[in-house]
């Protein structure tokens, strides 16, 4: 059992159990301490563990265990949702236990995805370099794009599946174009969105 890896999920589980009954997760930008602390822990983990060789060895050694744990936990959560057995939100032992388990499982899924990335994406390629640089600007830009497109599309007289496909596809393409044409190629926008200065093109 990968105790060292599983232990990383415990702070996330505690935050969910203690704070989620009060802050449900609408991300209202000024009063959501559950998400603030949750994302802060993820940020600290990324900073401390992203390039830590020992962490990478643990992922390699225990990838099967963590995948089984994450999938089993999600199966239980899906079973609760399908059976309509999710407890009512409150500071009760039942609901806090549910949120503890949900937070623990979310941490296991992040670790599992990292293990997949280390196993299958551990190589150098122009596409990976492009996406690596685009990841943070894409994150910063996507919500405005999704909301803008979604506001128009939800008013269409069509099925929810068609709306989902249009919003998802249009948002992905629009955000990538916005990044590539409006951010990647300009020094000021690169600086404002946390990118290093672009390497100058070699002269011929």
Given a cut of 90, is residue 166 above it in pLDDT? yes
The residue range of the domain holding 112 is: 3-120
- The reply to whether 64 and 140 lie within a common domain is no
Q: HSE (CB half, 13 Å, CA atoms) of 18?
A: 9
Rounded Cα distance, 112 and 24, in Å: 25
- The reply to whether 32 and 60 lie within a common domain is yes
pTM of the model: 0.75
- The reply to whether 105 and 146 lie within a common domain is no
Residue 27 has a pLDDT of: 66
- The reply to whether 20 and 97 lie within a common domain is yes
Cβ pair 70, 109 in contact under 8 A: yes
- The reply to whether 49 and 141 lie within a common domain is no
Residue 1 has a pLDDT of: 59
Q: Which of 99, 120, 141 lies at the terminal end of a domain, its last residue?
A: 120
Mean pLDDT of the chain: 89
Structure confidence by residue, pLDDT tens digits, 25-43: 776 667 788 988 998 999 9
The three state secondary structure string of 61-124 is HHHHHHHHHHHHHHHHHHHHHHCCCCCCCCCCHHHHHHHHHHHHHHHHHHHHHHHHHHHHCCCC
In a domain, 203, yes or no: no
- The reply to whether 106 and 139 lie within a common domain is no
- The reply to whether 133 and 111 lie within a common domain is no
Q: Would you put residue 194 in left (φ > 0), alpha (ψ -120 to 50) or beta?
A: left
- The reply to whether 81 and 143 lie within a common domain is no
Average pLDDT over residues 105-116: 93
Burial classification of residue 184, based on how many CB atoms lie within 10 Å of its CB (0-12 exposed, 13-18 middle, 19 or more buried)? middle
Q: Would you put residue 27 in left (φ > 0), alpha (ψ -120 to 50) or beta?
A: left
Given a cut of 90, is residue 198 above it in pLDDT? no
Average pLDDT over residues 70-93: 94
Q: Which of 120, 148, 163 lies at the terminal end of a domain, its last residue?
A: 120
- The reply to whether 18 and 59 lie within a common domain is yes
- The reply to whether 35 and 106 lie within a common domain is yes
Rounded Cα distance, 46 and 111, in Å: 11
Query: Closest by alpha carbon to 172, among 189, 190, 150?
Result: 150
In a domain, 201, yes or no: no
In a domain, 197, yes or no: no
Q: Which of 79, 103, 120 lies at the terminal end of a domain, its last residue?
A: 120
- The reply to whether 114 and 173 lie within a common domain is no
Domain tally for the chain?
2
In a domain, 199, yes or no: no
In a domain, 200, yes or no: no
In a domain, 21, yes or no: yes
The residue with tokens 């089993």 is 72
**Secondary structure (3-state) at 159:** coil
- The encoded tokens of residue 1 equal 């059992």
- The reply to whether 89 and 137 lie within a common domain is no
State the helix-helix crossing angle for 10-19 and 93-120, rounded to 10 degrees.
150
């Amino acid at each position: 059992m990968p105790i060292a890896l599983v232990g990383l999920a415990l702070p996330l589980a505690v935050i969910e159990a203690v704070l989620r009954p009060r802050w449900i997760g609408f991300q209202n930008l000024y009063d959501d301490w559950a998400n603030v602390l949750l994302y802060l822990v993820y940020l600290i983990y990324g900073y401390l563990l992203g390039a830590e060789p020992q962490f990478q060895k643990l992922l390699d050694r225990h990838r099967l265990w963590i995948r089984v744990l994450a999938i089993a936990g999600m199966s239980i959560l899906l079973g609760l949702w399908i059976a309509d057995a999710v407890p009512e939100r409150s500071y009760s032992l039942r609901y806090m236990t549910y949120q503890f388990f949900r937070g623990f499982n979310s941490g296991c899924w992040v670790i599992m995805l990292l293990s997949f990335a280390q196993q299958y994406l551990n190589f150098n390629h122009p596409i990976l370099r492009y996406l690596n640089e685009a990841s943070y600007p894409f994150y910063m830009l996507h919500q405005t794009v999704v909301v803008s497109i979604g506001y128009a599309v939800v008013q269409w007289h069509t099925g929810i599946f068609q709306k989902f496909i249009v919003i998802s596809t249009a948002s992905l393409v629009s955000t990538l174009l916005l990044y590539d044409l409006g951010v990647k190629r300009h020094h000021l926008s690169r600086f404002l969105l946390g990118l290093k200065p672009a390497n100058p093109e070699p002269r011929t």
